[in-house]
Amino acid sequence: MKYLWVSLLPLTFFWTSAVHIYEPASLFCLLLVFMAAALSFFGYRARGVLAGIKDAVKFCALVLIAQGAVFPFYYIMAARVHQEPVFAFLASGLLNLFGVKAVCEGNLIYIDTFLVTIVFSSTIEKAGALFFILFTIGGVVCLLLAKARIKHFALFFAITFVYAVLRYVFVIMLFMTYSRHSLFWEKIFTFAAFIPYALILAAVFKALPAPEIILSLKGVPVKKAAVTGVLAFFLVFSGVAFFGLRDIGKEKASRVLVDEYHSDWEWTTDAYDEEWFGERSGYNYYCFYNLLEKYYETGRNMGPITGDTLKNADVFIMKTPTLPFSEEEVLHITDFSV
């Protein structure tokens, strides 16, 4: 059983290499799957070479399917939830225990250093939510297959929560020293930071037997088989829909005009890519404008607003103004909105 817990580590980080999340996808994900299968084999090797290989492959497949089914829901959550106040509160308390002066206010941690006060924003990404969610899903699969008791699940979740908080504090302290935000999601560093977590779980649950993986429905009651089939369909459909389906929407007739003339901020004119950095790249609406272009007839207003400016527009977007509108422009905009 202990090898299966360790195999969850490469299975978890398979997704960060297979999908463009924090870094571009790469073929390294295949090596991670091979590593996970090899580790899983040691958990099943007592059943013979061929049987051990089959069970190892089935175990890895089940974990990946379960993790893949969760991905769409994580994307929905991550798009709507960003700030993270719970870990911020706990981390600030532990930082004080370690001799670092820190105060928490909401999701902000104020850290007092010799020269300056660092204002640290706690978010679910920095807390490693994606990695812990994926690993937790794998751990639940492991325990379910091993027919673990409720106390085992409670212990697993307790260890996960405590380790997540302690790891967060450790990374924050490193960030204070090196000022590198990539420490919170860089794959190699995060992988290394998860190794003690996997080894702790392997040691704690080593007495549990290697989980049985039975994919045959022979002798299974009809109702139980139906429930299993529905759940399996849900898992597969979620994974396929997430990676394969893209809602391109319906083409609309609306004409959109974005005002660039009065706003030297949130620019739509500079491409958002990895070739340049700075203020204009951080406060950048290029992708927003690019998305609008896919569905609407879109244009930019680069001069003072006249009666003809808004004549062919259905929607007029005014970004954060940095140049005041003249009285004549205000009248034109008022007439347009009416």
In a domain, 103, yes or no: no
The last residue of a domain, from among 215, 244, 278: 215
- Domain co-membership, 140 together with 209: yes
> 286 and 210 share a domain?
no
Tell me, yes or no, whether 139 lies in a domain: yes
Please check whether residue 235 lies inside any domain of the structure.
no
Is 312 found in the same domain as 206? no
Q: Where are the alpha helices (DSSP H) in the chain?
A: 2-18, 28-44, 49-80, 85-97, 129-145, 150-178, 187-204, 222-244, 279-282, 286-295, 327-337
Residue 232 lies in a domain: no
Residue 225 lies in a domain: no
Q: Are both 38 and 162 inside the same structural domain?
A: yes
Instruction: State which residues form the domain around 127.
Output: 2-82+123-215
Check residue 42 and report its DSSP letter: H
Rounded distance between C-alpha atoms, residue 304 and residue 24, angstroms = 42
Cα-based angle 43, 186, 243 (whole degrees, multiple of 5): 70
Q: Based on the domain organization, do 41 and 152 belong to the same domain?
A: yes
Q: Are residues 132 and 59 in the same domain?
A: yes
Last residue of a domain, one of 215, 247, 276: 215
Q: How far is CA 91 from CA 106, 132, 166, 172, 274, in A?
A: 12, 17, 8, 9, 32
Smallest CA-to-CA distance from 128 within 174, 73, 183 is with 183
Q: Are residues 6 and 54 in the same domain?
A: yes
End-of-domain residue from the set 165, 196, 215:
215
Is 169 inside a domain boundary?
A: yes
If asked whether residues 35 and 138 sit together in one domain, one would say yes
- Per-residue confidence (pLDDT) for residue 257, from 0 to 100: 94
Q: How many domains does the chain have?
A: 2
Instruction: Using 50 as the pLDDT threshold, list the residues of the chain that sit under it.
Output: 215-217, 220
Asked, for residue 20, whether it belongs to a domain, the answer is yes
- pLDDT at position 321 is 92
Q: For residue 239, is it within any domain?
A: no
Please indicate, yes or no, whether residues 185 and 268 belong to a single structural domain of this protein.
no
Give CA separation, 228 vs 63, 139, 225, in Å.
Answer: 16, 19, 5
**55-114 pLDDT tens trace:** 888 888 888 888 888 877 887 888 788 888 999 999 999 999 988 899 998 889 998 887
Q: Are residues 153 and 10 in the same domain?
A: yes
Angle, helices 187-204 vs 150-178, to 10°: value is 150
| Residues 175, 71 share a domain | yes
Q: Same domain, yes or no, for 328 and 199?
A: no
